Structure 1
Amino acid sequence: MNCALVTGASRGLGRAIALQLAIDHGLFILINFASNHEAAEETLSAIRAAGGDGNLLPFRVQHKEEVDAALNAWKEANPEKFISVLVNNAGITKDGLLMWMPESDWDSVVDISVKGMFNVTQNVIQQMLRKRTGRIVNVSSLSGLKGVAGQTNYSAAKGAMIASTKSLAQEVAKRNITVNAVAPGFIRSDMTGDLDEGQIRQLVPVGRIGEPEEVAHTVSFLVSQKAAYITGEVININGGIYS
């Protein structure tokens, strides 16, 4: 049975992506989360209500030993299942000007996005390489392409994800594994909840904030057979703000 692992899938973009992959591709969804068990259960309930199924898979992506222990135990208990799709979505923001930024704010943002991507991908890709098939999608950001004042840590993390996407795509293309990234702009989520929507509308050419489902549909396309010849790419989903 083919499965999709979505990190940070308890809410927001992660939840929308997990649900869309279950609906569009019939994938068994592994819902990763760090601590919000109740929200992760809500994601699983939404997937089951849509006719799909999955498991909760708690671990902190930034800790390699924790990642390997959780994933290896799951694989041992589920030998008939194969994680054919990986979406590295886990991430946080801790915004602030670089001159006053605590070192811990830099480290935690970079560790979750970049080290987390490394930890999870290195484990999951081993089976993809053996089976000579797989789809990896890294959730980056407009900040990783354009740079945003007050987000040097987040921009660094998301920019690193894009660079890593392009390199890894070249390493594994001959094994029929594609590696792509999506770069959302202003998308309705916990991260944008405190922003002034009126000001955002003035910044975005299409005049509105994007919806999580619009990102999820793009991810769904990238993991489909229709996107088999697309790898090493970054798909912008930002309403024209970086066109």
Structure 2
Amino acid sequence: MKLKDQVAVITGSAQGIGKTIAETFAKEGANIVITDINIEKAQATADEIKSKYNVETIAIASNVTKLSDCENLIAKTLDKFQKIDILVNNAGITKDNLVLRMTEQEWDAVISVNLKGVFNSIKAVTRTMFKQRHGRIINIASVVGIMGNPGQANYSASKGGVIALTKTCAKEFSSRNILVNAIAPGFIKTAMTDALSDEVKAKYAEVIPLKRLGEAQDIANSALFLASEDSSYITGNVINVNGGMYM
């Protein structure tokens, strides 16, 4: 098992890609902290993973836009497990609109969750990982943070910021053996894309060289690689998981 007895905190992990990452880590022996703004869903996911994979889990409610919530998340995790080996910053939202029509509230909300939330979570865990002299931080960015996308100025800016933050933290933390990397997903099948018509999904697939949308498991597999010792000489990198949409 690649992550046996390690402790992984995954934000926004009650459902979707975050849940798939949590399950993939649990299969490899990690104890899991499910954290989400929706505590009911978080608890249900934590219970399911504990039962399914025979690992220890805990569900903690947190709003990543609040540093105090992130600090509370880390404190409760340490109370339960006494260490934190892996942090996956997965929590994110979209509020798409053209720049001409985008409201200040739509801009602020996305930047606050997707970029400030990553900063808050990293800041909250840094002292612990520095003391341990070990850690893995994995930030979920996006292909549009690299190439942009019409109607997603706020989302693109937030994810581009996550990539820059990843590289800076990698440089600042490397002396303490803390590796910081990002994953930039392309179009991935999620509850959000499931709501799209077949016609719209076909249009998305047309711009992807592999001619299909990705699966949440594709992202989870990359996260597992970055969390494990297989990636022990990789930091400050962005793994593009997009079917060739950006090369």
User: Which bracket does the TM-score occupy, shorter chain normalised?
Assistant: over 0.9
TM-score (norm 2): 0.93
What number of residue pairs does the alignment pair up?
A: 240
Alignment match, 2:224: 220
Identity of aligned residues (%): 38
Alignment match, 2:145: 144
Gaps of 5+ in 1: none
Spell out the pairing of 1:81-120 with structure 2 (5 A cutoff).
81-120=82-121
Determine the C-alpha separation between the residues in 2 that align with 1:20 and 1:219: 9
Q: Which amino acid in structure 2 is aligned with residue 59 of structure 1?
A: S
Alignment match, 2:234: 230
Determine the C-alpha separation between the residues in 2 that align with 1:72 and 1:228: 27
Question: Post-superposition shift, 1:43?
Answer: 5.0
Question: Post-superposition shift, 1:157?
Answer: 0.3
1:94-118 CA-partner distances (Å, limit 9, x unpaired): 0000111111111111100111111
RMSD: 1.5
Alignment match, 2:193: 192
Query: Does residue 8 of structure 2 align to residue 7 of structure 1?
Result: no
1:157-182 CA-partner distances (Å, limit 9, x unpaired): 00000000001001111111100000
Question: Post-superposition shift, 1:47?
Answer: 4.6
1:135-155 CA-partner distances (Å, limit 9, x unpaired): 000000011011000000000
Determine the C-alpha separation between the residues in 2 that align with 1:21 and 1:46: 10
The 8 Å contact of residues 44 and 53 in structure 1, kept in 2 or not, is answered as no
Gaps of 5+ in 2: none
Q: Which amino acid in structure 1 is aligned with residue 41 of structure 2?
A: E
Query: Does residue 69 of structure 2 align to residue 66 of structure 1?
Result: yes
Alignment match, 2:41: 38
Determine the C-alpha separation between the residues in 2 that align with 1:222 and 1:167: 17
Question: Post-superposition shift, 1:191?
Answer: 2.9
The 8 Å contact of residues 19 and 45 in structure 2, kept in 1 or not, is answered as no
Question: Post-superposition shift, 1:11?
Answer: 0.7
Q: Which amino acid in structure 2 is aligned with residue 211 of structure 1?
A: E
Question: Post-superposition shift, 1:57?
Answer: 1.1
Determine the C-alpha separation between the residues in 2 that align with 1:212 and 1:197: 16
Q: Are the structure 2 counterparts of residues 143 and 40 from structure 1 closer, same or farther at C-alpha, using a change threshold of 3 Å? A: farther
The 8 Å contact of residues 4 and 85 in structure 1, kept in 2 or not, is answered as yes
Q: Which amino acid in structure 1 is aligned with residue 21 of structure 2?
A: I
